Every structure is written in structure tokens, then in C-alpha cells.
Amino acid sequence: MLVLLKIRNIALIDELTIEFEDGMNCLTGETGAGKSIIIDSIQCMLGFRTSKELIKTGCESAYTEGVFYTEDRAVSEFLKELGIEEEEDHTLILQRELSVSGRNVCRINGRLTAASMLRQLGSLLIDIHGQNDNQSLMKSSSHIALLDAFGRSELDAQKSSYLEMLGKFKDLRSSLNKFSGDPKERQRLADLYSYQINEIDSSDIYIGEDAELNEKRMILANSEKITESLNASRSIISGDDYSDSSVTDMLSSVKSLLSSIAPYSEEYAGILSRVEEVFYVIEDIASDIRSAADKVVFDKSELEETEERINNINRLKRKYGSDIEQILEYADNTRRLLEELLSGEENVEKILKELERMNEDMKAVCEDLSFARAKTAKILENKVENELESLEMSKTKFKADIIFNDDRDSDGYYAFTNDGLDKVEFMISANPGEPLKPLSRTASGGELSRIMLAVKTVLADVDEIPTLIFDEIDTGISGIAAKSVAQKLRAISEKHQVICVTHHAQIAAAADNNILISKSFNGTGTDTSVKTLDYEGKVREISRLLDGDTESEITATHAKELISKLRSN
């Protein structure tokens, strides 16, 4: 949800910060106070196309910032694709700065990005609806997803089964293209695969060989130093050139001395036993050092052979994998590809038969899915029309039009998509006798807003966009309809954060959080300010909306009754 909005140097606004809450937030104020500027600022922050005319007169730049709290999986995946790390507290910050020079700086969690990325991310966070802007419902491409979300319990199993078939179908078509391509290209690939397999197989490498060779090279390259160290160690332990008394000689003396007193005490006997253990260990070490020293022989030709072998393995790593295991795996995969390529004609015939079978099977599945969608559409249509009736649109007809596409491409296959073969578009007839028209071409902004509200009310449980903004969608409706709008907005706010701009007292009364937008003359110009209202402030504002009188006790009583009634529903 949107937690905080910061605005600087936009239209009439010098600088302000608005805090939003979960549930229903309502913005009110006199006409021209700047409510629409707040919505414009949010759209700017979300990457919408905007103009430098939005920048306050006399200023060089304007700035908007939105702080969100979100744990949405789609948002997480989008940030991951952009390489932007999520904050541990699930805070998300969107920033945008406009300048009179035309420079446009956008950031997501402090990371520079394009306005188009803000728009894509914004579409996952906020859905804006107003007189002329019904963001998601104006996109007919989104209608099939909305219908499927509404009928999730009936459609999910069928869609899941279909998508599994579609994945196999796409893989087969991809394989077919590989086998039935240009014969010269296939021969070129066969030659390349054969060369690569032979190069790896003839190298006769094995897992762990590179580590063994590197160790061997280190020993050969440092053989003189190794021999000197081993011989010196052997002499110190066993005598020879370095000392008149070796370690073994000294331990032997210690052993002899302790043997003479061992019978007197168990403690002395214990010490003697440990010395004897050390003596035998030292003797073994001396033997091992002698054996190791005998093995070390500097051989220049052997070092050169080792270096050449390491270079050959490194060359294979640069071409086929970062380690020997990956190189051998590459050879196995390439061998399989070569076998498939050489058996191309046989495979083509086999794949064609499988594709022909799947083409018809999947069409049948799509027909079943389309039938299930039609049943779901009827339920959705009835529910939306019932909602419209309470919004003074009782004569309005709503239809989720489903068009089944059974056209085939040049290869004879159906145009399968992730949604099957259906295209869905919401249709509307606002007046009796008028034909159904696409929702996106409905003329009246007020009607479109109420239709949108009806649809959103029905889809509240399945719509995944967390924040919904309603900008004066109550324009031109009666008090009775306004009450119904208020109740629907409040119902939606139980599942989503709602931010609405209104002139109706009924809608303001239903809000959890009321924000007053006002403007004043500061001596040099007009400035817009915001104030979050407490209960008494809310009563005064609703009184103003009712009859313009904020001092009348009768109006205040009416305002309190309205709040109590709409907040209890």
C-alpha cells in the first residue's frame, strides 16, 4: 500500500507530505484547492507521461516520491528482474524528478531507472480510476485475466492442465524447426558437434585431473626447495650433518632415564609410555620424510609436459565449461544433439504426428475452457448488473464477450496462447435500445467510473492490485447513489487500500482517514496545504460538504449521524 507521498514544486504546491493509511482514505476540499494536483503527482511518481508544465512557475524542477509497503510476489519478481534488492522491511520507494530543461530522473529504491520501468512497477502497485482514466479496465487485454481471476475456483485446474500441454506443444514445435531447417545448416551443425565431441573425447580428461596436475606442477617447479627442506628435516630428526644430537637421540636418552624410575611410580610410568609413543611417531615421520625426499626428482621435460597438459585443459575450459565436470557434461549434451540431428528425418515424421494429435487435443481442451469461461461470465455479468442497479444504472447491460479463435496458421496449427483460444472483452450498453459496445469506447466518463466501481466491487476478492485510487468518480450522481458508492468503496477497502477524491459528504463520512486539501495566499502566491483530520475536523468538513455551513449544530448533528451510519455498515 501507499504509505507516504512527498511533493515539491508541483503546480500550486511548494512542498507537502501526505500520510495514507490502510483502509479507506478520503481527500476533500474546496473546488480548485488542489485535489487533482495530488492525483497528478501520484501519476507522475508512477511514471505516467507528464509535461514540464506541471512544474511550479518560477521553479527549475519538481519532485515526487512515494513510499510503499508491499509483500507482493509480482513486485518481488519485477524487482529481481531489474536487479534491485528488496528492503528487509518490505519498504519500496519510487522517486521522480522533472526539470524545465526536460531532464527526467527516476529511481526505484535509490536505483536509477527509466520512466517506463516506473510505469510497469506502478501498474502492480496502484490502479487509478477517474472521469477519464480507468487504468486496468480500459485495457481490453486485461479483461480475460480479470474474468479468470473471478472464476478461479472453476477455471484454475483446467488452465493448469492446458498450460502443461502448451509447454510440451511449444517444445515440439521448437524441435521440429531444428530438424526441418536448411540441410546445409544441419550439416554444418553436425560437423561442428562432431568436432567438439572428438576434441573433448580425445583429450581423455577426467574429473579431478586439473587439481592433480596443478599439485604436480608445484612440486616439479619447486623441487630444489622441497629436497632441501626434506633433507634438513630428516637430519634434524635422525642426526647426520646438522647436530651432534638428533631428536631421536635425545628422545632415546629421555626414555632411558625415565625407564630407571618408572618402577617407583605410576605417574613416572605414564610419562615414560607417552615418551615412547612420541619416539615411535618421530621414527615413522623420519621414515616418511626419507621416502618423500627419495621421490623428488627435478625433470625439466616432465614439468614442460605437465604445463602443456594444464594449458590444454584450460583451453577446453574456455570453450566448453568452467570445470572438467561441465566440459564432460557439454560433450554428453552435444553427443545427444548430434544423434538427434543425424536421425532428423525419422524425428520429423514422429514429431509431426505428435503435433497433429496435440493440436486437436488442445483445441478440445480450449473449447472446454471457453465453455467454463462462458458460465463464469454469466455469473460475473449478473453480479455487475446488480451492483450497477444500486448506482442508478438499472437499465445498463454488462457483458463479458468471449470470442473463440479457431483460425489456423500456415502450418495448420491453432493460435494457442497462455489463455487458450479465447479473447475476452467487457461490453456495455448504458441505455435501453443501445447496442453493446466495448467498455473502452463508452462515451460518458461518469458512467464509465460507476461501471468500473461495480466491476471492482465484484472483483474485490480476486483483484491483486493493492491500492485503488478513485478520482471524483461520484460526479453527477444523486445523494442516494452517493451513499451506494460510499458503501461499495468501503467494502472494497476491506481488501484493498482505497484513496478517493470526492465532493460528497456520504463518501467522506465512510472513510477511515480524512485528509483536507486547502489553498491560501501566502503574500507572494497561492499555496496548497494538507491536513489529516481528527474526528471533530471530520465532522466540520462533512458539515461543509452537506450545506456549506461548518458552524450549524443541526448540520453537525446530521454529519455525526452520517458518519455513524456509514462507518457501522
> Which residues of the chain have a pLDDT value below 70?
130-136, 178-183, 239-245, 296-299, 344-346, 442-447, 476, 478-479, 522-523, 525, 549-550, 568-569
CA-CA distance, 380 to 375, in Å (whole number)?
Answer: 9
- Residue 408 is given by DSSP the state B
pLDDT at residue number 297: 67
Secondary structure (DSSP) of 363-392: HHHHHHHHHHHHHHHHHHHHHHHHHHHTTT
* Residue 544 exposed, middle or buried by CB count within 10 Å (0-12, 13-18, 19+): buried
Radius of gyration of the chain (CA): 40
Q: Which residues contact 236 (CB under 8 A, 6 or more apart)?
A: 242, 243, 246, 247
> Coil, strand or helix: which one is 296?
coil
Return the bridge partners of 13, or none: 10
Helix (H) or strand (E) holding 8, with range, is strand 2-10
Query: Do residues 517 and 541 touch, judged by C-beta distance below 8 A?
Result: no
Return the bridge partners of 528, or none: 519
C-alpha cell of residue 489: 468503496
pLDDT per residue as tens digits for the range 47-85: 888 888 888 888 889 999 999 998 888 888 888 888 888
Q: Which of 293, 291, 298 is nearest to 217 (CA)?
A: 298
Secondary structure (DSSP) of 409-434: -TTS-B--BTTBTEEEEEEEE-STTP
pLDDT at residue number 394: 82
pLDDT at residue number 569: 59
Helix (H) or strand (E) holding 331, with range, is helix 324-342
How many other C-beta atoms can be found within 10 angstroms of the C-beta atom of residue 361?
12
CA-CA distance, 513 to 505, in Å (whole number)?
Answer: 14
CA-CA distance, 109 to 528, in Å (whole number)?
Answer: 28
pLDDT at residue number 241: 55
Query: Do residues 499 and 483 touch, judged by C-beta distance below 8 A?
Result: no
The pTM for the full model equals 0.62
Cα–Cα distances in angstroms (integers) from residue 292 to residues 211, 223, 240, 297, 303, in the given order = 20, 11, 18, 10, 18
How many other C-beta atoms can be found within 10 angstroms of the C-beta atom of residue 503?
16
CA-CA distance, 45 to 54, in Å (whole number)?
Answer: 12
* Residue 416 exposed, middle or buried by CB count within 10 Å (0-12, 13-18, 19+): buried
pLDDT at residue number 442: 66
Q: Which of 336, 453, 449 is nearest to 384 (CA)?
A: 453
pLDDT at residue number 443: 47
pLDDT at residue number 18: 93
pLDDT per residue as tens digits for the range 143-159: 898 899 888 888 888 99
Q: Which residues contact 218 (CB under 8 A, 6 or more apart)?
A: none
Give phi and psi for 144, each to the nearest 5: -65, -35
Q: Is the dihedral of CA 135, 136, 139, 140 positive or negative?
A: negative
C-alpha cell of residue 480: 442516494
**Phi-psi category of residue 102: left, alpha or beta, with phi > 0 → left and psi -120 to 50 → alpha:** left
